[in-house]
Amino acid sequence: MGFNLDLTEEQCDLQKWVHGFAADVLRPAAAEWDEREELPWPVLKEAADIGLYSWDALNQFFADPTGLLLCLVAEELFWGDAGAAMVLFGTNLALGGLLSAGTPEQFAEWGPQCLGDKSDPKVGAFCVSEPDAGSDVSKLRTRARYDEATDEWVLNGQKAWITNGGVAAIHVVVASVDPELGSRGQATFVIPEGTKGLVGNRKILKLGLRSSHTADVFLDDVRVPGHCLLGGKDRLDERLARAREGARTGTQNALSTFEFTRPIVGAQALGIARAAYEYALGYAKERNAFGRPIIDNQAIAFALADMRTEIDAARLLVWRAAWMAASGKAFEAGEGSMSKLKASEVAVWATERAVQILGGAGYSREHPVERWFRDAKIYTIFEGTSEIQRLVISRAISGIRIR
């Protein structure tokens, strides 16, 4: 079979299904939840009711051999509303942490608990960043100590800017077991719902993604059973021993999770960019100035042409990286970072262009482009800033530890 970019019938059907939910449920409620700055539990419940937010659905998305299905779903949901969609997709980061660090048995045990069920949907949280450790995960100060007498791990520290932090059923936490080893001395733990000592109830007020719950998470003598260490203690002890001997220990769990999710994050940014482009195109066809539609002006038409071109180019990078990840092909030139870098910067640029095309109307809350403009900005910051993505790419193509 030759080269083919056609989506399968199943992919097209699922894409249309998700787009319908985004158009009928997410978009009509987007402005209200943005103003309220509250986590939209009713929207999550509707997604769970139709099976979109469920263990079965996510298994179907992740099982797609092309790697594209989750990107298609992300783009459509974030086209609808980035804030509400982030509530759904924030759980995917926790699932990514479980998948990259845990055993298949642990993933099967804790994964469904991140999502809950139709009657009681839940969310998950992946806790890595700290006040003094964002992109530099080697500087994590959260500590995990093993208590042999009780076969428990005791965690202390603070996590910052955590999506679904404090309201999640399952918190997946990266902590340092041996600080002297930097990122090689870290491990990942599951904090089950109701565990004493975990607090994260103060929602951070943000520029965009306002309905998505973001909070600092505090861990004060949090005790979890030994089996909550992802991968198991034997594997951790072996890895720490190799690290102390100076041997290679493989990719750090937090970094491998981000590497896996970068194309998906890029697809989220694409959804916002596409929403802004489509709205600006429709507005330019209907808005008259000097006796004709403004799209008749070359400056407007060319801006829209550039928006469409950049969005399509970014999508191809996202799809390539997603396909490579699903196919087990190494990102030898930082392809995952390329996809996230391009898509995030296109989203910021395209939403700004949309505001400009609408003029004063675009600056008002009567039109959604101002909200998309605010929502887009975070994509050049979280999951690795644009500068970090460029660093990853430059190191990959040069083989030099560029700083």
Report the catalytic residues: 383
- Cβ distance 351 to 273 under 8 Å? yes
Say how far apart CA 164 and CA 217 lie, in whole Å. Answer: 10
What does the buried/exposed string (b/e) look like for 251-285 if buried means 16 or more CB atoms within 10 Å of the residue's CB?
A: ebbbbbbbbbbbbbbbbbbbbbbbbbbebbbebbe
Spatial distance between the Cα atoms of 185 and 54, rounded to a whole number of angstroms: 34
Q: Which residues make beta-bridge pairs with 155?
A: 144, 222
Strand bridging mode 198-199 / 152-163: unpaired
- Is the CA virtual torsion 314, 329, 61, 107 positive or negative? negative
Taking a C-beta distance cutoff of 8 angstroms, is the pair 58, 95 a contact? yes
Helix axes 104-115, 55-63, angle to 10 degrees: 130
The residue behind tokens 């055993």 is 103
Cβ-based neighbours of 69, under 8 Å, separated by 6 or more = 11, 14, 60, 61
- Alpha carbons within 13 A on the beta-carbon side of 96: 26
Cα 301 to Cα 153: distance, rounded to the nearest angstrom: 60
Q: Which residue has tokens 């994050």?
A: 265
CB-CB neighbours of 305 under 10 Å: 11
User: How far apart, in whole angstroms, are the C-alpha atoms of residue 368 and residue 113?
Assistant: 35
Q: How many residues does the chain have?
A: 403
How far is it, in rounded angstroms, from Cα 135 to Cα 382? Answer: 9
Find the distance separating the first CA and the last CA of the chain, reported in whole Å.
44
Tokens 């996202």 correspond to what residue?
318
Question: Pick from 25, 30, 83, 29: which is nearest to 52 by CA?
Answer: 25
